[in-house]
Structure 1
Amino acid sequence: MKNFFQKEGNLRFGIGGKNDRNVSLINDDKLLVPNIFQLSTGETALLNLFLTILRDYDLCTSTVFESLDKIRGLVVIDEIDIHLHSLHQRNILPELISLFSGIQFIITSHSPLFILGLEEKLGNDGFMIIQLPKGIEITPEQFSEFEKAYSYFKNTKKINEDIQAEIENSHKPILFIEGDYDIKYLTKAADLLEKNEILDKLNLKDSDGYGNIDNVWKHFNTKLAEITPQKIILLYDCDISKKSE
């Protein structure tokens, strides 16, 4: 329950009387959920799923267990991601599955977020992806739903705007200056002089000292400069003596 609701402290059920039987959730003696019937469809599905695992194991064995890792068995779930919020697919569901280390889960899913969550929680060796109907093992990157989701996202206006902004930004001249205070001075001066459009055409980079600007010059005073798309501008403080080159 702590994993499910991402809560610390003591978490327990509160069960009302027979004629007014609310089943509430209480966190450190504070009411967290007045009635579990107020949970969303996805939350209810997850709660029901994992409580059912506990109940069924308890019914089918005479062994008394005191921790989740003692539970053994096989659990088959079809369309496990149905009705689940993206947070539940990506974070909560993989977290809950990882608690039952003695259970072999066989699951069908169309959710790239669920696969990403499993990969982060269990690692590449903690689960297998079998592509149907071919029955072959694939990697998370080969999961067909990733490609479908990406194709949908990349056609959105926001993605196109972000890509265009990155392209434009990548071709801006880069202005290397000695320190972060120089960026503040230049930004303030441009604001006071109403010359912000000049700075908007540049990428300002803090070099952390004039010695590092020298290193930039040594780096680009080679054939490397011929294949660099951006123009490189080196701006030293006036107390630094430099040759005309």
Structure 2
Amino acid sequence: MAELDIHQIPVLSDNYVYLARCRATGMTAVVDPAVAAPVLAEAARLGWTITHILNTHHHGDHVGGNREIMAATGCTVVGPRADRARIPGISVEVDEGDVYRLGECEAKVFFVPGHTSGHIAYWFEESDALFCGDTLFALGCGRLFEGTPEQMWRSLSKLRVLPPETRVFCAHEYTQANARFALSVDAGNSALRSRAAEIDALRAEGRPTVPSTLGSERATNPFLRADDPALAEALGLAGRDPVSVFTEVRHRKDVF
């Protein structure tokens, strides 16, 4: 199988849109286009021809550019079957366990509800690339707008077992704020303290903190560590089940 070339485009105040191009065929997908104009401009500058849109969920800052990009390119829109009524222009519906081919690159689809009821993620194993929308963030996870803590913990548990070298291409630059929160619940985590300092240095230089890696997330992201006894104890929840710990972490983040 072929690998992807991935180009990150910052848009709006803190969104990232991605262009993912199959090296073997040139087929190029836009992942979660919040807006169209900067995406079309970057594709033209790179000389990449947009053939697909891959949507993870229905929120406007992920699908807002769909129709304009479709009109300009005639591309195919791929999105979650469970959310087909809310994905503009969708023509290919995918769900848990499906494999979608972008040229010669294969993406495994995960159904990861919690942030929304129909959220999915795309894992391109050969490229070590996970496009997870707003389910998993660098040092965070999405708010539970349409799902439950149980659903989100199950969803994150699917993603965290992927190889540690997997790059996490999440959809927002929230990392510095997420680090401040993570330190408030997990101050004894030396790996987290080191990572927070690195993040501050990157942002001071105006550089992105995304993508991260799944190995780093497993070591430092409190939302992936709800089954870690050390985190449970730090929260005063020693011996409690992971969903209870996750629920408490999510609640604290919501009011942080």
TM-score bucket (shorter structure): under 0.3
For normalisation by structure 2, the TM-score amounts to: 0.23
Q: Which has the higher strand share?
A: 2
Q: Which has the higher helix share?
A: 1
